Structure 1
């Protein structure tokens, strides 16, 4: 089978399309013929050894897949050969076949295309966990989403609306804001490209405050970090919740903690991957709820671009450029 492998630390250009033996299903595992693999920001980080997890090389990037089960190991009962499934893998998804702990696999509706399924679990899983479990967002609250046109951001926009929030989408172009409004955002903020000096940060904070209104944002969803974080925090409501989701801007921000004191707010970490491992039953319940929303037509991944496996490195590079909107998917035939 073919797999796109990271054999050395580096960017997408270091990845190599290679031949590997087909995997076998050990006890508790299932082998999946991969049909599609979602591309996410952790794929950019993991090949550069900048992610929380550092797998032993060689490994394939790709943290979420969809495909068909070809075999199962001893003790696996909830899925069987022939089942159409999605799974969160952490890494390994950019390959024609993958052996994965069967507990990570979820059967998908017959009407769900594989590219939708491969674009589903990490973005909606992360954003649902953030808004439901970490923020406990309530109907009528104001939600500010940074990086709103990206994968997790657009999922947060859709889910925020489904949960009754007033959603303010913040992104780097009017085209991206228009996309967010098509997916439910009430208003939008177009911000410039950082880095920002102090005057630039003050101007950005004023933009956020104007969009959120005099009471501020009850919940801020930040998947960007960098110089965008402090201006966003300055727009938070009293006793609001600031969700730390990721750092797509490339820098971990240094937050003046006096702002948390003055705002009486919570700065809340969102580490969905670790939460899934610690709360498997709650995760399964959340996935079931999300799939119900999908079947009802309330949420749907926006797949903007598709790349074949042979060009999967280009897909990661495109995502890293921060030009992608919605989800990028690698398709595997």
Structure 2
């Protein structure tokens, strides 16, 4: 089968021909239909992601597809079932084996591309805003990187939860995408004074930050008393350092969110969140924004779109399913 395969952290992945895997105990094998790309895929290529698999491995963290085979001790699935899986790796291939415990059945209303673009981006934003920050109706939510894969879902979910949403992104096209997702106010990060503009709007009660760097510092200084700052990632490449005494002045809280980490200690948080998100999708209240859909032989192009920040929302790679 074809697989977008990484053998060396100092060399780029390549489209390779490898054996079709056999499912182990507790696993299902999928005929993969689509795979959503994530910034973490770029970090895995260099070995800098917090859960980079051992070499060699196939990239691709989240997939949709059809159950093709079952390993021993699998209940609740059968060949032909349509599912989505957050597997953490193995998605950019014709077939993949994944833990059945990580698979969810797809409603008829959800197609392959939407399903592959859904779990990580929407799951991250919903768990962050609802479970961690406890965002309340009427509060002001500042979303940095608001046109990215997770940023757009934060805008959409924040608005759905009743917040006033300030979206910060670079350029008119990306701000237009954030506006369509529901943003009430727009800030162009390429030339604006983020701190001044947010303060002029009354400050932020919750900050959603997948960017880090200077934007984190600006948002930090534009927070209202008792604000909550969510650190989602560091797309800027700059991990901000926080002086603890500065938290005291406004009674601020800074909290991290790694969505996949809940699989290890509170999987019920993810299960409940995905059930709510699937219901919202079925009701037409949320809809993944996918700017690029590419075939597997253009996976490298998809990764470059993420690296150069030329995509909005999600990039999805499709396979012949």
* Superposition TM-score, scaled by structure 1 size: 0.93
Task: Kindly report which structure 2 residues correspond to 1:1-333, keeping only aligned pairs within 5 A, or say none.
Answer: 1-10=1-10, 14-192=12-190, 203-210=193-200, 213-214=201-202, 216-333=203-320
The Cα of 1:110 is off from its aligned counterpart by: 1.4
SS in structure 2 opposite 1:145?
Answer: strand
CA deviation digits over 1:16-67, x for unaligned, max 9? 1111111112211000111100011100101101100121111111110000
**Would you say the 8 A contact 1:145–1:221 is kept in 2?**
yes
Deviations 1:207-252 (A, max 9, x none): 2222xx23x2110000000111111111111001000000011111
Q: Does the residue aligned with 2:53 lie in a helix, a strand or coil? A: coil
Q: Partner of 1:196 in structure 2?
A: none
Contact 2:211 2:234 in 1 (8 A): yes
Aligned-residue CA RMSD in angstroms?
A: 1.3
Q: Within 1, Cα distance between the matches of 2:91 and 2:105?
A: 17
**Structure 2 runs not aligned, ≥5 long:** none
Q: Could you tell me how far apart the structure 1 residues matched to 2:120 and 2:10 are? A: 23
Distance across 2 between alignment mates of 1:58 and 1:143:
41
- Name the CA distance, whole Å, in 2 between partners of 1:314 and 1:10: 18
Could you tell me how far apart the structure 2 residues matched to 1:10 and 1:147 are?
28
C-alpha separation in 1, matches of 2:10 and 2:78: 37
> Do 1:208 and 1:231's aligned partners in 2 also have CA atoms closer than 8 Å?
no
Q: Please say if residues 64 and 112 of structure 2, whose CA atoms lie closer than 8 Å, have aligned partners that are also in contact.
A: yes
Partner of 1:197: none
Unaligned residue ranges in structure 1 (runs of 5+): 194-199
* Deviation at residue 127 of structure 1 after TM alignment: 0.5
Deviation sequence 1:140-186 (CA, Å, 0-9, x none): 11100000011100000111011111111100112211111111111
Number of residues paired by the alignment?
Answer: 320
Cα distance change of structure 1 residues 76 and 252 upon mapping to structure 2, 3 Å threshold? same
Give per-residue Cα distances to partners, 1:284-313, cap 9 Å, x unaligned. 121111000000000010111011111101
Q: Distance in 2 between matches of 1:26 and 1:44?
A: 28
- Distance across 2 between alignment mates of 1:91 and 1:262: 42
Task: Give the SS at the match of 1:228.
Answer: helix
* Conservation of the 8 A alpha-carbon contact between 2:262 and 2:269: no
